[in-house]
Copies of this chain bind each other. A is one copy, B any other.
């Protein structure tokens, strides 16, 4: 068995997310597995670094899969890209160590959330930007971000109410950058709960709108209750930027 690692980019707009859902569902994983099956004549299971929700995009999604027959990485790259729709692309593919597993070996991830702040939309990137057309108090948002850094129980920032596993995660970095007509929030951590990045962003935006203060963050965290945090920001503004191993 040969093990392969690949880097996948996608515009998630049209898809029901990364992860295959039974036999139905228009998913990125499903599209890729179908093509690898066509190529090899066998079912090939793809392991992604993690799910991305419906409508979320990827610049850095990483996955691995095993083939019974050894094939050249470039040969697979050519074949797969020939059959993929135009909103999914495999950027890189290479042989990996037998033990490499894209999800289990992931050490950290970075997500980017983009907010359109100008009255005019960015017409060429509007599929990847949550456009609000308003301005935010970025200094207050940065102050709030400080409270989120480090290791906490992020249960209040998780949409899955029946989460049985640990909801403790570590956030290493939150960068809030103001660009021309755009606010960009990059969040790096060791892993993220269901909807966690979008709830973090939704809460930070409410702070930027003066609907909340930065000081509410410790209170929200310690409450361990989803209802204390802000709204879940829309999927379209979110992109998985990088997976670290």
Contact = CB atoms under 8 A, between A and B. Distances in A.
Contacts of A119: 77-78, 81-82
Instruction: Kindly state the interface size class of chain A when it binds its partner.
Output: 20 to 34
A97 interface: no
B77 A11 contact: no
Contacts of A9: 120, 123-124
A121 B86 CA distance: 6
Contacts of A11: 123-124, 126
Interface stretch (A31-39, A48-56, A87-95, A225-233): A87-95
Nearest to A57: B124
A122 B126 CA distance: 16
A84 interface: yes
A1 to B, nearest CB: 25
Contacts of A133: 81-82
A124 B128 contact: yes
B126 A87 contact: yes
A155 interface: no
A123 B89 CA distance: 6
A153 to B, nearest CB: 35
17 contacts: A9-B120, A9-B123, A11-B123, A57-B124, A77-B119, A77-B120, A78-B119, A81-B121, A81-B133, A86-B131, A87-B123, A88-B121, A88-B123, A89-B120, A89-B123, A90-B120, A124-B125
